Amino acid sequence: MPIMGDSQSFTSREVAIGTAVLILGAVGIGLAAPLVKLSSMEPTAVAFWRMGLAIPAGLVWAALDRKPQRQAAPAGGWKYFYLALPGILFAGDLAFWHSGIKITTVANATFLANLQPVFVVLASWLIFKERPTRAFVIAAAVAVTGAALLSAANISIAPERLPGDALSLVTAVWYAGYILAVRKARRFASTGMVILWTSLASTPVLLIVAFGLGESLVPPSTTEWAILVGLALGVQIFGQGSVAFGLGRVPAPIASIIILVQPVVSAIAGWLMFGEGLIAVQMFGAGLVLTGVWLAQRLGKPATRHPFAKRRPRA
């Protein structure tokens, strides 16, 4: 039985595979924060190398991934616009995220950046005229509340941190746009092609931002190179590549909730790698996130109504 999502039809098996790969991708990108913390380089420089070093692997992936897509590519230059758009939005996400972390607390930045499902829902409602169902709203509320509790122990409000909080909130907007843009590109392009173009488009943007901030781009040691390669292959190629694959089969609003597995993985990695303790409220928050993810993935099953319904024009 086909499942409708974003004007495309998929079998239950295809959606199940897409959901599983999406979860694996969220686990992969959940390792980004601890790897960046291990690096002694400036954050935007790290982001530049993460994307730049991913280009060779992206080229290989795009060359091997030639499976025919469900829709024809847009005519003329629109094809390249939709391929480049995810990379530009993702560069904005990384630049604002890293700038926000410098001004506010990591907990504030993490919580605000993880509000991206809210903006995905708003865009789907206002732009695509798709109204969320009650079941989807419940799943999103549970997952976002869990993400808030994950950071609750360290969240603070202070006037001097408000600019950083604002940048972190805009990060959520950038990432929501990235999710929707990848979903659009995956309608006509393979996963490999999307991940390649994301790297190609974001690398020069991040280079300009890094130069503007006066950051050094030279890795000081082989250890730094190892961290950068790990970010490029483990986080960008495997993590974001898996997310791009999943977005080809799972509606963007549902995917935005599933991706909230990321802060849970980051919290566990911080505990294992840096001894960052997890208090009871954070563990409860992690449980809420996973519950929200479970509820969201159930919305993709054949017996479940689609999480978004098209608005009918008034007579």
Q: Write out the chain's pLDDT in tens, 315 residues.
A: 333 344 456 677 888 898 999 999 999 988 888 888 888 898 889 999 999 999 999 999 999 987 766 677 777 788 999 999 999 999 999 888 877 777 776 667 777 888 888 898 888 888 777 777 888 888 889 998 888 887 766 666 677 778 878 888 899 999 999 999 998 898 889 999 999 999 999 999 999 999 998 999 999 999 999 999 999 999 999 999 999 999 888 888 888 899 888 888 888 887 888 777 778 888 898 899 999 888 887 775 544 445 555 555 544
Closest listed residue to residue 281, CA positions, set 147, 191, 128, 176: 147
Closest listed residue to residue 239, CA positions, set 63, 54, 52: 54
Phi, psi of 37 (to 5 degrees): -65, -35
Kindly state the helix (H) or strand (E) to which residue 196 belongs, with its residue range: helix 191-212
Which amino acid belongs to residue 141? Answer: A
Closest listed residue to residue 174, CA positions, set 94, 100, 105: 94
Token pair belonging to 78: 């629109």
Closest listed residue to residue 242, CA positions, set 231, 234, 230, 253: 234
Distance CA 62, CA 110 (A): 32
3-class DSSP state for residue 259?
A: coil
Q: Any bridge partners for residue 132, and if so which?
A: 308
Which amino acid belongs to residue 104? Answer: T
The vertex-136 CA angle with 131 and 141, nearest 5°, equals: 115
